[in-house]
Amino acid sequence: MPRLIRAIYRVAPDAQALARCAAQHFVEHAERAVAARGRARIAISGGSTPKAAFALLADPAESWRARMPWSKLDLWWVDERCVPPDHSDSNYRMTRETLLDHVPLAPGQIHRIEGELEPEAAAARYESAMRNHFRLEGAELPRFDVVALGMGPDGHTASLFPHTQALHELGRIAVANYVAAKSSWRITLTWPAINSADAVFFLIAGADKAQTVHEVWMGPKDAERLPSQLIRPVGGILTLLLDRAAAALLPAPEAEGCGTLERKE
Ligand code: 6PG
C-alpha cells in the first residue's frame, strides 16, 4: 500500500524574510507546546542557515524574544560535529554565539552533545540524557515538540549523510556516524528519533539546493542518496520553509506563498 508523504511549503522572497518566517515558526510551536504540555522540547540544527533566525529570536528589538516562553524551553541539537564546544565547527558554539549568550535559558535547559568526547561515548551519553529527560522505557523514542532541520545540497539532513551507516540505525536515538565525504565523525539523531517529533520543519535557502529540494520532495524515493526523504514526522506535520531560490523548481505556491507537496512511496 503506497504511503502518501505530504509536505507543506512556505516560500519567503529572500533569506532575511525566511529568517523572520523561521523565528515565527519557532515561537508558534513553542507557545503551542507550552499551552498543551507546559514545556517546549525543541531540537535544532547547526550549519549556517539557522544563524539569522537565532539572531532574530535573541534580538530585544524584535517581538519574538518577548513572546518565546524561555523558562519552559528545553533545547536539544539534532547533530554535532565531533569537536570541542569552543571549536569553530561546533554547532553548539554557533548557537551559543547567536542565541544562548543573549537569552534567559538556564544551563539545565541546554542539552548539548558533548562533541569533545570519543564519538560513541558522546552518542551514548546524549541518548542517555534523552532517555532520562523524556523518561523513555525500552524502545520508546523522544517526542520533541518541534525539530528544526537544514539540508545540504547532497540531500543530507542532521548528520544523516548519503550512504552512511546512520541511515540504517533504527533501534537507537542518537549515534556516532563516520562521514567519509568530510573525513570526520558526527553525532546525530537517528531518523526514527526525528520522525517521532510532533512537528518537523526544514529551513532551506539558496539556489544551490533547488535541484535537491525538487528531487527530495518531488522525485522518486532514493533515501540512500537523499536521506532527507527519510523525514516524515509521525505527528504528520512536515513543513518546508524555503527562500525563493531554494524553491525555484517547485510548483508556484498558491495563496500567501504556501503550497503542498505530496509524494507516494
Ligand atoms: C550541521 C547541520 C546540517 C545542516 C546542513 C545545512 O551540522 O551542519 O546540522 O545538517 O543543517 O548541512 O547546512 P547550512 O544551513 O549551512 O546550509
171 contacts 209 by C-beta, under 8 angstroms? no
Nearest to 99 by CA among 152, 44, 144: 44
159 pLDDT higher than 80: yes
Structure confidence by residue, pLDDT tens digits, 101-119: 999 999 999 999 999 999 9
* CA atoms within 13 A of residue 164's CA, in its CB half-sphere: 29
**Full DSSP string of 38-97:** S-EEEEE--SSTHHHHHHHHH-TTSHHHHHS-GGGEEEEESEEESS-TTSTT-HHHHHHH
What CATH code is carried by the domain that includes residue 89? 3.40.50.1360
**pTM metric for this prediction:** 0.96
Confidence band, pLDDT 50/70/90 cuts, at residue 262 = confident
Q: Give me the phi and psi of 18, to 5 degrees please.
A: -65, -40
Amino acid, res. 222? D
Q: What does the pLDDT read at residue 255?
A: 67
CA of 50 to the centre of ligand 1 (A): 9
* Total domains, the chain: 1
| Separation between Cα atoms, residue 129 and residue 80, nearest integer Å | 15
All three cell numbers of 88, joined, read 569553530
Per-residue burial over 191-226, b if 16 or more Cβ lie within 10 Å, else e, is bbbbbbbbbbbbbbbeeebbebbbbbbeeebebeeb
Atom of ligand 1 nearest to the CA of 45: 9
CA dihedral defined by 34, 31, 146, 118, rounded to 10 degrees?
-70
Per-residue burial over 69-97, b if 16 or more Cβ lie within 10 Å, else e, is ebebbbbbbbbbbbbeeeeeebbbbbbbe
Residues with CB under 6 A from ligand 1: 45-49, 78-79, 91, 150-152, 157-159
Q: Average pLDDT for residues 220-235, to the nearest whole number?
A: 94
**Domain span holding position 173:** 4-264
Atom of ligand 1 nearest to the CA of 203: 15
* CA atoms within 13 A of residue 151's CA, in its CB half-sphere: 32
DSSP conformational letter for 217: H
End-to-end CA distance of the chain: 9
Structure confidence by residue, pLDDT tens digits, 62-75: 999 999 999 999 99
Structure confidence by residue, pLDDT tens digits, 16-30: 999 999 999 999 999
CA of 187 to the centre of ligand 1 (A): 13
DSSP conformational letter for 16: H
1 pLDDT higher than 70: no
Angle at the Cα of 253 (from 252 to 256), degrees rounded to 5? 140
Ligand 1 pocket test target in 45, 88, 113 with most atoms within 8 Å of CB: 45
Atom of ligand 1 nearest to the CA of 77: 9
Q: How far is CA 188 from the centre of its chain?
A: 11
Q: What does the pLDDT read at residue 201?
A: 97
Average pLDDT, the chain: 95
237 pLDDT higher than 90: no
Number of neighbouring beta carbons within 10 Å of residue 59:
14
CA of 150 to the centre of ligand 1 (A): 5
Atom of ligand 1 nearest to the CA of 159: 10
54 pLDDT higher than 80: yes
